Amino acid sequence: MTGARVRFAGYAAVFDAPDRGGDVVRRGAFGVPGPVPLLWQHRGRPVGQVEAIGEDARGLRVVGRIDDARLAGLVASGAIEGLSFGYRVRRSAQGARRELQAVELVEVSLVAQPMQPLARVHAWEAGDPTETVAVAGDSAPKAG
């Protein structure tokens, strides 16, 4: 990797799949999220920027930019690929599992071990923030 920046795409949450604590995020739980910081392990100062975020059919899809050179290198090497999110519960239902039906999104984090095993970075690229990140399922070619 030549530069300090890495752009990535992935899912911070996957709908209807239990996490390690037994919670299940339901479709629609995030509504239309506003801007949130990108953190490392849910702590400290931002390590980059969330450029785009929103729900799709699979979960909470995130496109972001990592400005921290060390963390960018770890993501680019595949050593770090977990994603997670910080939230406040607004509405939930308790059955066999706690169902998160409405949450206030507080932050998105790159993490070593995501609570939701399917919450992962699935595409990354080193480069200019004006380029497009192509991800699985996208029909747009990768710029650059």
* Tens digit of each residue's pLDDT (9 = 90 or more) over 62-104: 999 999 999 999 999 999 999 999 999 999 999 899 999 999 9
Average pLDDT over residues 6-29: 97
The angle subtended at Cα 141 by Cα 135 and Cα 144, nearest 5°, is: 105
CA distance 33 to 90: 14
- CATH class of the region 6-126: alpha beta
User: What is the pTM assigned to this prediction?
Assistant: 0.84
The domain limits of the chain are: 6-126
